[in-house]
Amino acid sequence: MVFHKHPCPEQLYSWRDGTGREIDLLVERCDRLLAIECKAGQTVAQDWFAPVEGFLSLAGNAAGMILYGGDRGQPRSRTPVVGWRRIATALARGFGTAAK
């Protein structure tokens, strides 16, 4: 696993609501959720953000990110874009456990 040691172990889920909205990967640690949309493409598309933004509007204490096939990260206001090679650092940051 790429997760950092933490007193609360991570739980992994996927999520889909009755209208078909879905999140590829939900990571739960203690009382926090990290919604991750996984994309194989190397060019970021605006429609990638809708599932994460929709989930974040429903969830209380949650963060989100897009994990994609490219190399360059793109900071965004609420949903950063992270290249797949940086998954370990991105997960730590998503839970506030690494320097930004």
Q: Is the pLDDT of residue 34 over 70?
A: yes
Number of domains in the chain: 1
Range of the domain at 60: 11-94
CATH code for the domain of 89: 3.40.1350.10
> What pLDDT does residue 95 have?
66
Q: What is the pLDDT of residues 8-33, one digit of tens each?
A: 778 899 999 888 889 999 999 888 89
Q: What is the pLDDT of residues 41-73, one digit of tens each?
A: 999 999 999 999 999 999 877 999 999 999 988
**Residue by residue, what is the 3-state secondary structure of 33-97?**
EEEEEEECCCCCCHHHHHHHHHHHHHCCCEEEEEEECCCCCECCCCCCEEEHHHHHHHHHHHCCC
